[in-house]
Amino acid sequence: MTAPPVAVTRRGGLPAGVRNPWLVFLGRRFARLVVSLAVLVTLAFLMIHLVPGDPVRAALGLTAPAELVEARRESLGLNDPLIVQYGNYLSGLFRGDLGVSMTSGVPVVDTIGQRLPASASLGLSAFVVIMVSAIPLGLAMAVLTRGGRRRGVELGFTSTSAMIAAIPEFLLAVGLIFVFAVTLGWLPVAGRGGLDSYLLPVLALSAGPTLVIARIVRVEALAVFGQDFVRTARAKRLPPWRVYFRHAFPNALTSTLTIGGLLLGSMIVGTVLVENVFAWPGMGMTIVQSILAKDYPLVQAAVLVYGLAVLLVNLMVDLLLAVVDPRSTIREA
């Protein structure tokens, strides 16, 4: 922990191989991304082969004539050796060819291109709502309840947030539909249309994560308020907002980001359920329908899309963490 001046010169003097810690960090992080991607792609490919029995027979039904099954197997390339299929799959991926839907005959890429924007707009809106509301809420709660003040506010906040966060997003969605669409009739019950159609799905998706993140922000911020450098900032007689926002808050972000990243990952998949509650024409409906119809090329592609989204969110969180907390980057490197 000590002796950085020595360490600095020594690091500079080291022979080739050890470079800028940022480059080392980025190199490692992208290597991890590539490995995760490779595993994801391979698993998506293997999925159809892991299905016990004949997946094509299962998809077409027991009554389908044997010739049809054979023809479909041939067209899916399932009769080739596994390694050849894998090669074809990979090259198809690079060409943007994800195969053809077994049920509709439409190229999978077209279906995804059509459905993904609806899901992405939903997910991004929820993400923005979470970030815009969770962090100020958590900070405000931390400032209000610092040093054991306002026990009542603290208790009220921690218990209500725990209660609401315990309700899974799709059940919350049902409750919201009942109140705002059925009983009050203010908002559409389902479907994707104007701005008003976004309100309930976004609220259902963001309520839980918002409260959970706000709780984390509060606890983290309270821990930071007690640290020496915050006292230093106060000793510099900075205005309170500057003490909180410039000094305390950025240092409270670290584990907020870590846990928040995990939450966002599960929120992405949470859209699957919420989309089905609201009959939202997005990827969530697609993946469920294709699973039910055993439309394997479409399922493969949908799993890829969701997995990719999760990996990208994780990457973003790690990069943000590195910027916010340079110590962790250098330690890791």
Partner 1 sequence: MRLTHWLNALRSPVGAVSATLLSAFIVLALIAPIIWGDAAEQTDPSALSQGPSAEHFLGTDGLGRDIWMRVLVATRTSLGLAVLATLIAVSIGTLLGVLPAVLGRRAGRLAVALVNLAVAFPALLLALFFAVIFGIGAKGAVLAIGIAGAPSFARLVQTNVAAVAGRDFVSAARVAGVGRVRLVFRHLLPNVGEPLVVNATVMAGGALLAFAGLSFLGIGVQPPTYDWGRLLGEGLSRIYLNPAAALAPGVAVVLAGLAFTLLGETIAQVVGLRTTARRGHLGVLPTLRRREPDEPTTTQPGSNGASVYDGVSTQHAAASTDGSTVRPDDAVLVARDLTVSFPGPRGWTHPVDGVDLTVHRGETVGIVGESGSGKSLTALAVARLAPEEAVVRASTLNFLGTSLPDRSDAELRRLLGTSMAMVFQDPMTSFNPSMRVGRQLAEVTRTHEGHSRRAAWDRAVDRLRKVRVPAAERRAAQYPHEFSGGMRQRAMIGMGLMSSPDLVIADEPTTALDVTVQRQVLRLLREVQRESGAAVVLISHDIAVVSQMCERIVVMYSGRVVEELPVDRLAEAAHPYTRALLGSVPDLATDVDRPLATIPGRPPDPGARPPGCAFAPRCAFADDTCTAPPVLEDVAPRQRAACWHPQSGPVAPSPLAGAEPAVDVPTRTGGQP
Smallest distance from the beta carbon of 241 to partner 1, in angstroms? 11
DSSP state of 13: H
Q: Closer CB to partner 1, residue 118 or residue 247?
A: 247
Smallest distance from the beta carbon of 271 to partner 1, in angstroms? 10
What is the DSSP code string of 76-117?
HTTTS-HHHHHHHHHHHHHTT---B-TTT-SBHHHHHHHHHH
Smallest distance from the beta carbon of 329 to partner 1, in angstroms? 11
Q: Closer CB to partner 1, residue 128 or residue 279?
A: 279
Smallest distance from the beta carbon of 13 to partner 1, in angstroms? 16
Q: Closer CB to partner 1, residue 1 or residue 195?
A: 1
Smallest distance from the beta carbon of 254 to partner 1, in angstroms? 8
Q: Closer CB to partner 1, residue 121 or residue 254?
A: 254
210/127 Cα distance (integer angstroms): 9
Q: Closer CB to partner 1, residue 67 or residue 228?
A: 228
Smallest distance from the beta carbon of 247 to partner 1, in angstroms? 5
CA triple 25-15-18, angle to 5 deg: 5
Residues 6+ apart with CB under 8 A from 154: 141, 145
69/75 Cα distance (integer angstroms): 10
Question: What is the residue type of 115?
Answer: R
Q: Within the chain, where are the H helices? A: 4-13, 21-50, 55-60, 66-76, 82-94, 108-144, 151-165, 169-176, 195-225, 228-235, 240-242, 249-277, 283-292, 296-324, 326-332
Q: Closer CB to partner 1, residue 118 or residue 268?
A: 268
Smallest distance from the beta carbon of 136 to partner 1, in angstroms? 20
Q: Closer CB to partner 1, residue 35 or residue 68?
A: 35
Smallest distance from the beta carbon of 114 to partner 1, in angstroms? 20
275/220 Cα distance (integer angstroms): 33
Contact 134, 210 (CB under 8 A): yes
Q: Closer CB to partner 1, residue 91 or residue 234?
A: 234
256, burial (CB in 10 Å: exposed 0-12, middle 13-18, buried 19+): buried
